[in-house]
Structure 1
Amino acid sequence: MTTTEFSRLHISSANGVSTITIDNPPVNVLDVPLMSEIRRFLLSVRDDQNTRVLVFQSADPEFFIAHVDMTLIDEPHAFDDVAREAPEGLNPFQAFGELLREQPQVAIVKLAGLARGGGAEFISAADMAFAAEGQAGLAQCEALMGITPGGGATQYLSTRMTRGRTLEVILGADVISATTAERYGWINRALPAAELDGFVDRLARNIAALPEGVIAAAKKAVPMADLREGFRREHDAWAGLFARPAAENLIRGGLKAGAQTKGGERNLEALLRQLEV
């Protein structure tokens, strides 16, 4: 597969490391095309023995993946094709995270800016994540839209931090700094912004250079939690709230107020909190 097959991803590969740069202006919303391209890329390298490490980053230093595309409120069948390919018991967003989590390569996120909603869930599904101090932030902002996370956050976060901290992230619905995210266990490390690239690049190269079989053995020896029952509960909670009028009103109100624009996304939480249900 060549990089010309993607319009929202820029991919470079060297010495067993593939660097995937997400570029879906203006704020890298997780829309159907972006999700489809990431999914297609992951499947294309799944059996590639020469690709050992995947590093995800953003072309926009302010935004990694903003969140799921809010305009999908008007396109109820937009994910039909993705849903048909999802494993039984998973909705399309959960299946997207699980595809990354089950990837045989080591998946690393290099976070320089903001990641909310589905973008933050993508980070939680990765094997490792490193973020820039003073610049990066993560948030599960769904509660401000009248819903709960539906793409794995309730389960991924519960394996990384205490129940109290998970509820703080979901119900507090504020941006969590890189430093706090490290302390909570959401990411591996918060690093000075000037050191982020060098640290992640060195780590990725070192992992890719390990003897054959070591990565696979390590990922097998450090098992993933079985989250299937939790995913069912999460989907039921999310879907039940999404069907209520409050969710539609808040999502439409958010778009009207400037969500999914650079200005609106810089302080999305304040924008959403000002809306009336």
Structure 2
Amino acid sequence: MSFVTLEKKGPVGIVTMNRPEALNALDKQVLEDLNAVLDQVENDPEILVAVVTGAGRSFVAGADIGQMSGFTAVEGKAFGAYGNGVFLKLENLTKPTIAAVNGFALGGGCELSMACDIRLASDKAKFGQPEVGLGITPGFGGTQRLARIVGVSNAMELILTAKTIKAEEAQRIGLVSHVYPAEELMDKAIELANAIAANAQVAVRQSKAAIRRGMQTDMATGAAFEAEAFGLCFATEDQKDAMRAFVNKEKITAFKNR
């Protein structure tokens, strides 16, 4: 049995962290299962957008403390490197990803949500990086992504105090885009995913890549990558069809995604 499942609803792939008896805590096996599912998402042409969520009352409560407690320094570094590699794969998927944070997103769970492109939260969700209270640093990208998303001061406060914040506070500082009642979260996430899937996918993926690349580099380099992405789109059938329709005051009904 895999601790990470993949379900398809039309063009949307729903990736569910499925270890509810442990609040979906991340051990090596869960990370390996997630790694395999991400390959499935990337390689399935029917999946245009992925939604990542958790089974039960937790998104991901963190890395598995029981497994980590006996690590040596060498084993800790190896575990952090592996988890970081999986989350980098998630971040760098060509397809857009939405985190539907349904409950606890602590430590590795907060880091998992931050590796997604867009974050939506239930009003029951809670976020935090509690690692310093356990004598460690965040290990799966938390020290890097959190500052990029919410700014250095907010990231420093969250990480150095190890405090947990509610969904409304996470929205206020820009960690999540929207907060919904728990019973509406998945419907809203799938609605957003379908809205993205309805657009020209070459342009969608190039836009994602340009944003991701720009966040890692200087403005001039990012602008040069954007120019390449912009130009590439003019070689697609979707660009020709959509602009022809616009000029003719028509409405395009579907994209070919090529």
**Could you tell me the TM-score, scaled by structure 2's length?**
0.76
Letter paired with 2:171: E
CA distance in 1, matches of 2:189, 2:8: 15
TM-score, normalised by the number of residues in structure 1: 0.71
Deviation at 1:203, TM superposition (A): 0.7
The structural deviation recorded for 1:75 is 5.2
Matches within 5 A, 1:210-229: 210-224=199-213, 225-226=215-216
| Contact 1:30 1:65 survives alignment (8 Å) | yes
> Secondary structure of 1:10's match?
strand
- Superposition misfits of 4+ residues, deviation over 3 angstroms: 75-80
1:142 corresponds to which letter in structure 2?
E
Q: In the alignment, is residue 118 of structure 1 matched against residue 113 of structure 2?
A: no
Q: 1:48 to 1:76 in 2, by over 3 A?
A: farther
1:92 match: 82
Match of 1:156 in 2: 145
Identify the structure with bigger relative contact order (alpha carbons < 8 Å, sequence gap 6+).
1
C-alpha distance in 2 between matches for 1:93 and 1:22: 15
Measured against aligned partners, the alpha-carbon deviations of 1:73-92 in whole angstroms (never above 9, x if no partner) come to: 33559979x95xx9xxx822
Q: Distance in 2 between matches of 1:43 and 1:36?
A: 11
Alignment RMSD: 2.4
Report the Cα offset of residue 194 of structure 1.
3.5
| Greater Rg over alpha carbons, structure | 2
Aligned position for 1:230: none
- Following the alignment from structure 1 to structure 2, what is the Cα–Cα distance between the partners of residues 91 and 159? 20
Cα distance, 1:192 vs structure 2: 2.7
Q: Please say if 1:26 is aligned against 2:22.
A: yes
Q: How is 1:26-45 mapped onto 2 (pairs within 5 angstroms)?
A: 26-45=22-41
Give ranges in structure 1 of 5+ residues lacking alignment.
1-5, 228-277
Counting matched residue pairs gives: 214
Q: Secondary structure at the match of 1:223?
A: helix
- Residues 76 and 156 (structure 1), Cα distance of their counterparts in 2 relative to 1, 3 Å cut: same
Point out where structure 2 has 5 or more consecutive residues left out of the alignment: 218-258
Amino acid at match of 1:12: E
Q: What SS does the aligned partner of 1:130 have?
A: strand
Alignment of 1:120-139 (within 5 A): 120-133=110-123, 135-139=124-128
Any conservation in 2 of the 1:12–1:18 contact (CA below 8 Å)? yes
